[in-house]
């Protein structure tokens, strides 16, 4: 039996990669080290994000004929939920291992799973989607690279489309410390507006599923049609 704490393993891999100037290389290392055991990936719940599901149930976005993309899709549960609701879904992750794993989990899925780097997006993804979902992918990134990552997320939205972000939250003056994830600040989220989106609503709440509860932001933005 492997008794290694998966959180400790993630912390070690992240610290080693980031110290070498590679902000994202550790993600694939985590998936490979998991050995097809999702319990060894701290963020892999094997179910769709509850804050996405709650938002979809409340807002009832138009899905028929609408395109959606999941940023940092991991093992695919959020992408499958969007597809189940009628979106035409693309889901990408920098980890080739995660993409292969998602395809194995959902062999008959209509989702287009693909390996892609948020910092070097294929041009065909830019401005291509009616709905963009990002959860917990920005917050493990070092603060110094987040502005570029946030701008890249915004670039995925088509005119008239929208972006939904779910993350841990903090005030601008609060410092980040310790291992990732590091909460996003209001100031960092304003990068979506600088990238051409318009703020619709930010929800600031405590996540009761965590012990102790943690602060989260759920932020929705729209991209003007002109």
Structure tokens at 192: 């979506």
Domain extent listing, the chain: 44-222
Distance CA 202, CA 9 (A): 33
Q: Kindly write down the DSSP assignment for every residue of 30-70, as one continuous string.
A: HHHHHTT-GGGSTT--SS--HHHHHHHHHH----TT-EEEE
Rounded average pLDDT over 91-102: 98
**How far apart, in whole angstroms, are the C-alpha atoms of residue 81 and residue 53?**
8
pLDDT average, residue stretch 158-172:
97
Q: Whole-angstrom Cα distance, residue 159 to residue 197? A: 10
Q: Are 39 and 30 in contact (CB under 8 A)?
A: no
Token duo for residue 11: 């912390």
- Tell which CATH classification among 3.50.50.100, 1.20.120.80, 3.10.105.10, 3.40.50.150 matches the domain 44-222: 3.40.50.150
Name the band, by pLDDT with cuts 50, 70 and 90, for residue 1. Answer: very low
What the block records as the tokens of 23 is: 């902000």
Mean of the per-residue pLDDT values of the chain:
94
Residue whose token pair is 């990408």: 92
Residues written for the chain: 226
Distant-in-sequence, close-in-space partners of 190: CB < 8 Å, separation ≥ 6: none
Contact call for residues 82 and 145 (beta carbons, < 8 A): no
Q: Which residues does residue 210 pair with via DSSP β-bridges, in sequence order? A: none
Please list, residue by residue across 49-73, b when 16 or more beta carbons sit within 10 angstroms of its beta carbon and e when fewer do: bebbeebbeeeebebeebbbbbbbb
Residue 27, strand partner residues:
none
Q: What is the pLDDT of residue 82?
A: 98
User: Given a cut of 80, is residue 191 above it in pLDDT?
Assistant: yes
Q: CB–CB of 71/140 below 8 Å?
A: no
pLDDT in tens, 103-129: 999 999 999 999 999 999 999 999 999
């Amino acid at each position: 039996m492997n008794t290694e704490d998966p959180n400790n393993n993630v912390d070690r891999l992240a610290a080693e990669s980031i110290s070498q100037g590679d902000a994202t290389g550790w993600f694939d290392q985590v998936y490979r080290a998991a050995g097809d055991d999702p319990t060894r990936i701290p963020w892999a719940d094997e179910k769709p994000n509850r804050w996405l599901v709650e938002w979809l149930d409340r807002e009832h976005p138009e899905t028929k004929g609408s395109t959606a993309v999941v940023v940092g899709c991991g093992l695919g549960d959020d992408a499958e939920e969007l597809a189940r609701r009628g979106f035409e879904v693309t889901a990408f992750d920098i980890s080739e291992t995660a993409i292969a794993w998602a395809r194995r989990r959902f062999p008959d899925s209509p989702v287009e799973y693909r390996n892609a780097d948020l910092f070097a997006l294929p041009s065909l993804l830019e401005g291509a989607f009616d709905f963009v979902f990002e959860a917990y992918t920005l917050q493990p990134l070092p603060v110094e690279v987040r502005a570029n990552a946030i701008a890249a997320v915004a670039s995925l939205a088509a005119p008239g489309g929208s972006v939904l972000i779910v993350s841990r939250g903090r005030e601008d003056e609060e410092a980040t410390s310790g291992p990732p994830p590091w909460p996003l600040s209001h100031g960092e989220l304003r990068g979506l507006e600088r990238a051409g989106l318009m703020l619709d609503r930010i929800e600031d709440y405590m996540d009761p599923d965590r012990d102790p509860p943690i602060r989260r932001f759920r932020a929705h933005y729209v991209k003007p049609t002109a």
